[in-house]
Amino acid sequence: MSNSATFKVKIEKLPRHVAIIMDGNGRWAKLHGRPRIHGHQKGVERAREACEVALELGITVLSLYAFSTENWSRPPGEVEFLMALLEEYLTKELPIMMDKEIRLHPIGRLKDLPVTTQKKVKEAMEATKGNARLTLNLALNYGGRAELVDAFKDMAKLLKEGKLSPHDIEEATVNRFLYTKAQPFPDLLIRTSGELRISNFLLWQTAYTELYFTSTLWPDFDRSEFIKALLEYQKRERRFGGLGY
């Protein structure tokens, strides 16, 4: 698909929030006869390109699943490389995030990341907190179930302190304790690499999210592939449990 497809996108029907499960880096590297780390490096380039497309079209929130709570089971050398790659990415991209007004909002159990990685993440988060053009949710040591457990623990603490009543707990209450509080829920969830599951990503938030699955591996998910997903989204009729007529 050529870049001219961009002009077919209806700006008034764009999703406000797009979430992406960036899958397939390892398989891409294997197909090209390269080490897995090369696939991760290529994947970083696609993450940058996804941000560019979001900025160009006016999408206001982009959530990228970078490292899950389950990813710690990977070989130690690969995990170390991923953390180093993240630190390098944040260092290089910070000036761009400032120039493009991108706010970095990491989501996940950040306290379990290596100390040096935590430092880089917090520095970038603090530096970009005033930016308002695009919010980039970077999921690091993230799990949807873990997010809900953390939310319930925080609510339980307030209940114990008498600052929250059981009668006051509604869906909106839970929303306030999520990592993504105050953000719109994802309108579109994209998963690359041909897998047909959401892998513990934004479980609460994606209750009515439109799902888009593609066999394209993440390192090949370029601008045209992103536009293709958006065009497919714009064909959907979102009823949220109601009638469409």
83-120 residue pLDDT tens: 999 999 999 999 999 999 999 999 999 999 999 999 99
3-state secondary structure of 170: coil
Model pLDDT, residue 239: 72
The rounded distance, in Å, linking the Cα atoms of 214 and 225 is 9
Q: Which DSSP string do the residues of 141-177 spell out, in sequence order? A: EE-HHHHHHHHHHHHHHHHHTTSS-GGG--HHHHHHT
| Residue 8 confidence (pLDDT) | 87
- Residue numbers in the chain where pLDDT is lower than 50: 1-2, 245
pTM beyond 0.75: yes
- Ordered by start, the domain boundaries in the chain are 14-233
CATH superfamily of 14-233: Decaprenyl diphosphate synthase-like (3.40.1180.10)
Strands lying side by side in the sheet with 102-107: 102-107, 134-142, 61-68, 17-21, 188-191, 210-213
Q: Give me the pLDDT at residue 241, please.
A: 65
Q: Whole-angstrom Cα distance, residue 190 to residue 211?
A: 6
Nearest one of 189, 220, 222, 221 to 204, comparing CA atoms: 189
How much is the pLDDT for 3?
Answer: 54
pLDDT of residue 140: 98
What is the total residue count of the chain? 245
The per-residue pLDDT for 2 is 46
Tokens linked to 175? 């929303």
Catalytic residues, which ones? 23, 71
User: CB atoms < 10 A from the CB of 182, how many?
Assistant: 8
pLDDT at 237: 84
